[in-house]
Chain A
């Protein structure tokens, strides 16, 4: 595997379910990011981790819970989501946490029923 991978690629869940999204980067980077991409809206930064430490939480509701066990893996735990949370969730990584090029994964398409 190369670059940034995300699983699952598609997810359908009910509002009472609990699920997790997984991201893995194979680039030796130190910073990882979660973004939300909704139709006709700009990408919204959700969380930033730099050297496994969370450095940014962009006022994200607590029903989204990130976890970064090491610099290569990032999770987004989901529980009691709302239909408006349906979107493409993108993971990205960069060498550091600055302006460097961010490399994106293919995303997880989430549908909340």
Chain B
């Protein structure tokens, strides 16, 4: 079983749609949860991060973490063509021997068409 599972898609939605991206994980020690966005021919850039369970909102983006279900989500409201990219979830334990070691999902390819 992979430590982090992410549906690779591809996901294609019309402009203005609400997009839901999800990851599940198996390591209960993960405490920090991140979403990265990667445009074609670029490196990943951090979009949002959360610590432990709960919600975090930033503009059109909302990140949710449900540690009891080992499930994280990223919601994009009013999606735009400029949101077309690959979205990667990543997570990390707090301290210990995995210091600095992010575990990534496979990435979901999202296309928002006008």
Stretch at the interface among B59-67, B73-81, B97-105: B97-105
B57 within 8 A of A: no
Q: For B86, give the chain A residue with the smallest CB separation.
A: A37
A82 within 8 A of B: no
A90 within 8 A of B: yes
A42 touches B107 (CB 8 A): yes
Q: Which of B37-74 contact A (CB under 8 A)?
A: 41-46, 49
Given A50-B100, A96-B100, A98-B99, 13 new contacts (CB under 8 A) = A33-B100, A40-B8, A42-B4, A45-B101, A45-B102, A92-B43, A94-B100, A99-B94, A101-B49, A103-B45, A103-B46, A104-B43, A104-B45
A interface residue numbers (CB < 8 A to B): 4, 31, 33, 40-43, 45, 48, 50, 55-56, 90, 92, 94, 96-99, 101-107
B interface residue numbers (CB < 8 A to A): 2, 4, 6, 8, 31-32, 36, 41-46, 49, 88, 90, 92, 94-95, 99-107
